[in-house]
Amino acid sequence: VKERFEVIVQPFENTPAKEVLYENHKHRFRGYLQKNLDFYLKGEDKERHHLPIFNTYEVSVYDKEKLIGFSLFDIGQSAIASIICVFDASYEKYSLGTFTMLREIEYGQSLGFEYYYHVL
């Protein structure tokens, strides 16, 4: 996967392409679902909806110019907590969820963190 796709790790930036992937992917999730990524990350409190709650980063995977998957994780003082992974179903054979999880772990190791908490 590393050789075929471009991977970017950076502070989370929501985009229309991420919202489309989330909308198309959320049928795979169990339990209560938020209507979009902003509500997923910031909650439904209209007074504070514009404020970030955590230090959220992303691992984004691109096939040329096309966003095909991304995962979100929060950075704490000594650990990383994975939040969500979303991908284009037509790329399922590349195991992008596992791939982005490994990239999150690598990023945490590069910061000297000892702990990684993943989504079940």
| H helical segments located in 1-120 | 16-25, 37-42, 96-110
pLDDT for 35-94, tens place per residue? Answer: 667 656 665 555 555 555 678 999 999 999 999 999 999 999 889 999 888 999 999 999
d(CA 24, CA 38): 16
Whole-angstrom Cα distance, residue 87 to residue 76? Answer: 25
Q: What is the pLDDT of residue 51?
A: 52
Half-sphere exposure (Cβ direction) of 39: Cα atoms closer than 13 Å: 10
Nearest-Å Rg of the Cα atoms of the chain is: 14
